[in-house]
Amino acid sequence: MLQPPVHRQHGGPWIPEGVRFDVFRHALVTDLKQQGFQNRDIALITGDATA
């Protein structure tokens, strides 16, 4: 069986040490919106149905 990448072992996206998840997620969502992604796509990418 293949091992998951190291950054996925805890079930979430890799977050730089010391960065709060909500801050990181907000920056990620903002970046995705600037790239033209729709909310539905962002929800799929971030795993958050409320995006």
Q: Is the pLDDT of residue 8 over 50?
A: no
| Residue 13 burial class via C-beta count within 10 angstroms: exposed 0-12, middle 13-18, buried 19 and up | middle
Report pLDDT for 23: 84
Q: Is residue 48 classed as helix, strand or coil in its secondary structure?
A: coil
CB 45 within 8 A of CB 37: yes
Contact (CB, 8 A) for 45 and 32: yes
**At which residue do the structure tokens 């995006």 appear?**
51
- Could you give the C-alpha distances from 8 to 12, 36, 39, in angstroms and in order? 6, 26, 23
pTM above 0.85, yes or no: no
* Domain residue ranges of the chain, discontinuous segments joined by +: 19-51
